[in-house]
Homo-oligomer: A and B are copies of this chain.
Amino acid sequence: MAELSDPPVAGRGRPRSKNAHRAILEATRQLLEERGFVDLTIEEVAQRASVGKATIYRHWPTKGTLVFESFTVQFLAQQPLPDTGSLRGDLLASLRAWIRNVKGTVTGRTLVGLIAEVQRDPELAELWRDHFVVPVRAQHRLMIERAIERHEISSKTDVDVTLDLVFGAAYHRLLQSHLPLSDRFAQSVVDTIVGGLASEVERSPTHR
């Protein structure tokens, strides 16, 4: 994670200002809260940070990458890796934490804005997959793998599909906002999936 912005190239010349870097990220954070992703402009970030616009572009190529760096720090810090002893408990705790983190929050609105932006900017999309989707999934994946080790679910379980079911449903409600991200929703999602995985154990009792 450390450096998403262009790293200060060691060498000759005046070095990149860490103050400017910090001030830009802080101004971004503030303006995301005040205006949201869509109405945030690089121009205003520069003003707020008392920084030339060119300095921002020297560190980040696009608004998307800047907001992304400001966002991920915040987001990843709030995604726990629960260990309750059961798959149901882990998935439910994880999904509840995700909902708490995004529902009605600046983080949630920024997440939505970034996902929208990712669909319009292929370079940001790559950054997004490599430095957000993949790391978050790697962490979530552990919950499933532990359940497999406990022989709670089949070793043939498709881990990726399981994650897509749990969080795909959640992202779906976040992006389509057709129905609320209620706790009833979280429970129902997890219960159905865990039930489905358990039934696969019964059908193919090949786990030792």
Contacts and interface: CB of A to CB of B under 8 A. Distances in A.
Contact of A116 (B119, B160, B188, B191): B119
A125 interface: yes
Nearest to A117: B116
A97 B111 CA distance: 29
B129 A177 contact: yes
Interface in A169-202: 169-173, 175-179, 185, 188-189, 191-200
Contact of A199 (B38, B160, B169, B198): B198
A192 B162 contact: yes
**SS class of chain A's interface: helix, strand, loop or mixed?**
helix
Interface residues of A, number: 47
A165 B118 CA distance: 23
Nearest to A171: B172
Contact of A161 (B38, B171, B192): B192
Contacts of A169: 161, 164-165, 168-169
B161 A189 contact: yes
A134 interface: yes
Contacts of A116: 115-117, 119-120
A60 interface: no
Nearest to A38: B120
Interface string A6-35: 000000000000000000000000000000
Interface of A: 38, 112-113, 115-120, 125, 128-129, 133-134, 137, 158, 160-162, 164-165, 167-173, 175-179, 185, 188-189, 191-200, 203
